[in-house]
Amino acid sequence: MNLLARLTPLLRFLLTEFGPLIVFWALALTLGSKAAIAGSVAYILADAAWRYRRRLPVTRLYIFSSALT
């Protein structure tokens, strides 16, 4: 089994549960805090719309991660 196929479920989990934090830190380290805040808010809104459209559940871990961001 190739490495990418084994890592795909882990990466998907990290992005769906910790996406706002990942976006925040990536933008904070490269563009600064204002861009990080704006980018993470935009990510949360877009992800909420995507989850609503696909009728995906919102987990407690995702809510915690979004609130922490």
Reported as a single tens digit per residue, the pLDDT across 10-35 is 999 999 999 999 999 999 999 999 99
What would the two tokens of residue 28 be? 């904070």
CA of residue 40 relative to chain centroid, distance: 8
Q: Is it the case that residue 38 has pLDDT exceeding 90?
A: yes
CB 52 within 8 A of CB 23: no
pLDDT band at 55 (very low <50, low <70, confident <90, very high): very high
In a 13 Å sphere around the CA of 6, the CA atoms on its Cβ side amount to 3
Query: In sequence order, which ranges of 1-69 are alpha helices (DSSP H)?
Result: 3-30, 33-54, 60-68
pLDDT for 5 equals 86
What would the two tokens of residue 19 be? 């996406």
pTM of the shown model: 0.83
